[in-house]
Amino acid sequence: MITLKQLASREEWFSSGHTLCPGCSIPVILKLVLGASRNPLVISNATGCLQMGSTLFPHTAWKSNWIHTGYGNASATMSGVTAVYRSLKKKGRLMDEKERKFLVIGGDGSTYDSGISSISGYMERGEDIVYLCYDNQSMAHSGGQASSATPVGASTTTTPAGTVLPGKLQTRKNITAIIAAHRIPYVAQSAPWNWNDLLRKAEKAFETKGPAYLNVLSPCPTHWNTDTDKSIELSRLAADTCVWPMFEIRGGTKITVNYKPRHKLPVSEWLKSQDRFRHLLEKENKWIVDKIQEEIDQNWDFLLSAQNEEETK
C-alpha cells in the first residue's frame, strides 16, 4: 500500500488545466485511481463529462496513451487494443516495452446504460482490463438527464418533480451486483472521501489478472444542486447513510464490507443535502422516503449477512 507522500511523487497521468466543473469529484477520483498503477497506462475513455472536460480542442489534460471512443463502445475498443498488444508481444516487437495496464473509464450513462453489452462481453472473455465508472447518477455531460443510475425520486431534466410526478419513478440499477454476477476476479465500490480505501482498491484492481471493476460515487454539484465545496463531504454522507455501501467482491461471491458506520444515519439526511431531492421532504412524499429507506436497509442487511456467511465458512 502506497502512502500519500509516495502518491504525490508519482508521475501524474492527468494534469490540471481541465475544464471540469468546479467541485467535480472526477479529478480527485482520477488522482487516486491512476496513481495506483505502477505501470504505464492505456486508457479508453467513453464520451462523457471526463472526456469533454479534459480534451477541449486543441488542448488535453492527459499524459498517457488515451483514446476517446463512442458512448457505448469504450470496452470494445480496449478489447481490440489488448488484442493488438498481445499480438505484438508474441511477435517479439515489444520486448523492451514496460508492461502496460489497460483502463476503461466511463460515467454511469456509458456504463449502466449504453455500454453494458461491451462491458459484459470483455468480462465474459476474461480480458485483463480494469473498468472505472465514475457514478454521478445522471447523464451530466448532456444536461442532467436521468440514467438508470439515477435514484428513485430524484428530479432531473427528464424526470422533473412537479404536480404530476415526484421525480424519477424507477429504482436505480444495481450495476455492481450485475458485474459481480459475471464471476470476475475483482469488483469494488468506493467513494472519494476515503482516499485510503479507493487507492487500495485501485491497486488491487490493477494487480488483478483478468477483468476488474471499480464503481466510484462521484458527487456532481451542477446537477445535484449542491455547493461546490461539499462534494467530498457528500460522498462521506452517502456511506454513513448506507446509500453507497463500500465493499468488494472477489470471484463473484466473497463479499467484504469495508466500512460500517458507527451510527447509521437515516436517508433523510442524504436527501435534504441536495436540491434534487428537496420535494421528497414534503409531507405528501413521505411514502417515497419510506420506500427508499426500506430498500437501503434491505441492501445493507444483505451485504452484512452475505459477508458473515463467507466468514463462517
pLDDT in tens, the chain (313 residues): 677 787 777 778 888 889 999 999 999 999 999 999 989 999 999 999 999 999 988 889 998 899 999 888 999 999 999 999 999 988 888 876 778 999 999 999 999 999 999 999 999 999 999 999 999 999 999 999 999 999 999 999 999 999 888 999 999 999 999 999 999 999 999 999 999 999 999 999 999 999 999 999 999 999 999 999 999 999 999 999 999 999 999 998 899 999 999 999 999 999 999 999 999 999 999 999 999 999 999 999 999 999 866 554 5
Which residue ranges make up each domain of the chain? 14-311
Tell me what pLDDT residue 176 has: 97
CB atoms within 10 A of CB 82: 19
Rounded CA gap, 15 and 150, in Å?
Answer: 29
14-311 — its CATH code?
3.40.50.970
Provide DSSP, the chain: ---HHHHHHSPPSB-S---PPTT-SHHHHHHHHHHT-SS-EEEEEESSHHHHHH--TT---B-SEEEEE-TT-HHHHHHHHHHHHHHHHHTTTTTTSPPPEEEEEEEHIIIIITTHHHHHHHHHHT-S-EEEEEE-SSBGGGT-B--TTSPTT---SSS-BSSS-BS--SPPP-HHHHHHTTT-SEEEEE-TT-HHHHHHHHHHHHH-SS-EEEEEE---HHHHT--TT-HHHHHHHHHHTTSS--EEEETTTEEEE----SSPPPHHHHHTTSGGGGGGGSGGGHHHHHHHHHHHHHHHHHHHHHHHHHHT-
Nearest-angstrom CA–CA distance, 261 and 265 = 8
pLDDT at 310: 53
Question: What is the pTM assigned to this prediction?
Answer: 0.95
